[in-house]
Structure 1
Amino acid sequence: MTVFLLVLLLFIAWLPVDFWLGRRRQLKRVRQRAFPRRKSDFRLYTYGKMLYRDLFADIEQAKDHIHILFFIVKNDAVSQRFLQLLMKKAQEGVEVRLLLDRVGSHLLSRKSIRELRRAGVHFAFCHNPRFPYFFYSINQRNHRKITVIDGKIGYVGGFNIGEEYLGNDPKLGNWRDYHLRLTGEGVQDLQTQFLHDWRDDTKENLLRESRYFPPLLPGAVEHYFVPTDGAYLQQTFLDLIEMAQHDIYIGTPYFIPGKRLMDALIQAAQRGVRIAVLVPKKSDHPLVREAKFPYMRQLLREGCDVYEFLNGFFHAKIFIVDGHICDIGTANFDLRSLYINHEMNCIMQDSSFFAAIKKEVDEDLEASRKLTLEDVERLSFGERLKEKIGTIIAFFL
């Protein structure tokens, strides 16, 4: 028993060392990648049924290649339908590459993987846990969700593949998310990012293959993509906060911003910027709801508006500044997205497309309840205990 306790204590003591050394190595390797300003045409999806309908239809129409990266593909009915479609296209002669995060997609069966490969799908897991910094590598996930079809159509946003994203999880209910479909110049940047991730995990370098980069015409919406690899995202958010003159709107499923971003938001509120934050009432992970309470209190004490989404689970990631700059992507407003995960965000400039975004935001707020300071101060003993634990381990939630 003594030996077991000693081994357990050594293991617990090693975890922060493993994480610190792993992150240190990552920061030495990471390089900031900047994409230029582009012009594309966008369509916004907020429900899985409509997204899957169009995504699957675009895949069905593919003629040359399909490149897909997801954080999560489940092993359920809609996931099997998705995989069957990819196998069908590969058997038709379309080049198909599917890259999935190893931990996020751990439910995908070995049988499904064998069937994909037999059908001719180029399949790989990315971010496989590995030594010497095993604990860090388990936590460092590829959270990007990118689809590129024939180099001409792109998708990026918050949805993964699974029944719960159709609202079929009885615990979470309706699933509200934001996902973008684009055509135009920006698709080449999604392609570039996918091929970077593919090369990093398979060692196959396709970045110079011209057939993946067909000529593209500009669209109506000016934008640029921001890929982050466990670094640089905080500065992107800080820049957006600091440029705000009138109002900031943040919608996120996990609001754990850390001290620097929180200080920037408070300073913005104190200089007269109206701040509204929308978070879900329901939670899909333990402790994340309670871990945000300290930040909620600070915002409410500064006169900011905080809303809880009541109509199911809110998973969208959106950041709007002064009504004319909008960030939609894969990154949450939390420490994991800021410092660990690999993310992909799209920052758009003022355009007619913003009317469609505002309509959805207004619907989200109508389906929400405005919180008071009493709501986040008058907590049960269990909620306070969860808040303490969540605050301690917030980096890993």
Structure 2
Amino acid sequence: MEEGLLMHLALILSGLFFLILLWLVLDFQLGKKKNLSLVSRNETAILHGNFDIFTHGKKLFADYFHELRNAKQHIHVLFYIVKDDEISEEFLSIIKEKARAGVEVRLLLDRLGSWKVKKDTIEALREAGVRFAFSNTIKPPFLFYSSQTRNHRKITIIDGKIGYLGGFNIGKEYIDEEPSLGIWRDYHLKITGRSVNFLQSEFLIDWHEYAGEDILGNPMYFPVMADGDIRHRFVPTEAGQLEQNYLTLIQQANQSLIIGSPYFIPCKKILAALLSAIKRGVQVSIIVPYTADHLLVQEASFRYLRKLIRAGASVYQYKKGFYHAKTLVIDDKICDIGTANFDKRSMYLNKEINCYIYDPAFIQRLKDILKKDMNDSVRLTLEALNKPNPSRTLKEGIAAVISYFL
């Protein structure tokens, strides 16, 4: 009798597991199909602006907080992560102070990325006059798919005249105060000139979608400004658009291709394009962290890095802290800095925004930064990757199955 009950229970549990798995697959596929039917491309033509680049959080936030405090009319902020710590409190205190002083402040945060922002914190922001909304909330009918699609953009526009875009979020690790990660290495752009208008429009499109306020046509948010000196364009992506962008960039390389990313998990097409580039004589260099900040992401990269190293690529593991920068440099003609990682999540699930820069002097400046980062790295070798390690092998196997979601 007991054996029969156990068998019956096992059959029920197996059936439930199958139904849950079927629901997850159908939810994800149908949600993806619906999302693909709604998105459109919105990249700019060639623009002209002025740029500065920050590679260290303390210097970035000193400048960023200074510009926030000097805002006169409006502040529009979109972050993936704002945490519950001292620097987050300083940031929120600044924007509350500006809102009380009459500056229009809008703050848009990713719902899961900024899960540490508490209800009472949001109430305090709204009481101070800050307009607040969460983006990418989990919602029916596609609960699993919507839980995976994140707004990974990190942009700020101040008075419509100053823009920020890059890899830094708001939290103590970004200013080197997380001992397990050490010094945080990232790339973040400060932009002035007429092209800031496009960052403004992208923010307001997202704001309309998630906050329900349509102010995109209001000219007060788009002041008339002169062009800057640096040729560039902005490329927002979501729902698979980034894959084709990366393919196009890689195929343009003739001499060298440098990739910097904290997570290196390319799709089959991108991996094939990189291998093809190596075959035609392109020197491919990849910078990744030596120490991972998330479970399995490093193990997920090893299967791809083995193939690339075997083909002739150089892989550098950054050791002077944690490497979080997101960049591609194609020869001496294009560099890409933005919010997108070189992984499947950024390619297929996240909203991202990148900036393609075509200015030779700026590209050389970035290559000098990358050269320093390579000097602060160790080369990853096939010998190290192939050395017997049962724990790593198990993690690689698990990571291969779920790499789409890492």
TM-score by length of 2: 0.96
Whether the aligned pair in 1 keeps the contact of 2:332 and 2:364 (CA below 8 Å) is: no
Letter paired with 1:155: Y
Whether the aligned pair in 1 keeps the contact of 2:332 and 2:360 (CA below 8 Å) is: no
Whether the aligned pair in 2 keeps the contact of 1:44 and 1:356 (CA below 8 Å) is: no
Equivalent in 175, 178, 197 of residue 184 of structure 2: 175
1:207 partnered with 2:207: no
Letter paired with 1:321: I
1:86 partnered with 2:70: no
Equivalent in 86, 94, 100 of residue 109 of structure 2: 100
Any gaps of 5 or more consecutive residues in structure 2?
1-8
Letter paired with 2:205: H
In structure 2, how many angstroms separate the alpha carbons of the residues matched to 1:351 and 1:62?
32
Residue in 1 aligned with 2:313?
304
1:72 partnered with 2:81: yes
Q: Could you say what secondary structure the match of 2:361 adopts?
A: coil
In structure 2, how many angstroms separate the alpha carbons of the residues matched to 1:108 and 1:4?
37
Equivalent in 287, 290, 296 of residue 299 of structure 2: 290
In structure 1, how many angstroms separate the alpha carbons of the residues matched to 2:67 and 2:349?
32
In structure 2, how many angstroms separate the alpha carbons of the residues matched to 1:129 and 1:181?
32
Equivalent in 367, 392, 395 of residue 386 of structure 1: 395
Residue in 2 aligned with 1:141?
150
Equivalent in 117, 120, 137 of residue 128 of structure 1: 137
Q: Could you say what secondary structure the match of 2:160 adopts?
A: coil
Give the C-alpha shift of residue 324 in structure 1: 2.2
Letter paired with 2:119: R
Q: Could you say what secondary structure the match of 1:226 adopts?
A: strand
Q: Could you say what secondary structure the match of 2:36 adopts?
A: helix
In structure 2, how many angstroms separate the alpha carbons of the residues matched to 1:263 and 1:355?
28
Letter paired with 1:45: F
Superposed counterparts of 1:111-122, under 5 Å: 111-122=120-131
Per-residue displacement from partner, 1:282-321 (whole Å, max 9, x unpaired)? 1111100000111111111111111111111100001000
In structure 2, how many angstroms separate the alpha carbons of the residues matched to 1:371 and 1:100?
36
Residue in 1 aligned with 2:271?
262
Residue in 2 aligned with 1:276?
285
Letter paired with 2:218: E
In structure 2, how many angstroms separate the alpha carbons of the residues matched to 1:80 and 1:190?
25
1:33 partnered with 2:42: yes
Whether the aligned pair in 2 keeps the contact of 1:220 and 1:351 (CA below 8 Å) is: no
Letter paired with 1:327: D
Letter paired with 1:121: V
Per-residue displacement from partner, 1:9-49 (whole Å, max 9, x unpaired)? 42133212211111011001111112121111111011110
1:363 partnered with 2:372: yes
Letter paired with 2:234: F
Equivalent in 52, 61, 74 of residue 52 of structure 1: 61
Letter paired with 2:193: G
Letter paired with 1:276: S
In structure 1, how many angstroms separate the alpha carbons of the residues matched to 2:15 and 2:88?
44
Give the C-alpha shift of residue 379 in structure 1: 4.0
Letter paired with 2:370: V
Q: Which moved more, 1:347-356 or 1:167-176?
A: 347-356
In structure 2, how many angstroms separate the alpha carbons of the residues matched to 1:371 and 1:144?
30
1:245 partnered with 2:254: yes
In structure 1, how many angstroms separate the alpha carbons of the residues matched to 2:114 and 2:14?
33
Q: Could you say what secondary structure the match of 1:18 adopts?
A: helix
Equivalent in 157, 161, 167 of residue 158 of structure 1: 167
Whether the aligned pair in 1 keeps the contact of 2:163 and 2:196 (CA below 8 Å) is: yes
Give the C-alpha shift of residue 352 in structure 1: 2.1
1:222 partnered with 2:196: no
Q: Could you say what secondary structure the match of 2:248 adopts?
A: helix
Per-residue displacement from partner, 1:106-142 (whole Å, max 9, x unpaired)? 0111111110000000000011001111111010000
Give the C-alpha shift of residue 186 in structure 1: 1.6
Q: CA RMSD in A?
A: 1.1
Whether the aligned pair in 2 keeps the contact of 1:163 and 1:169 (CA below 8 Å) is: yes
Letter paired with 2:348: Y
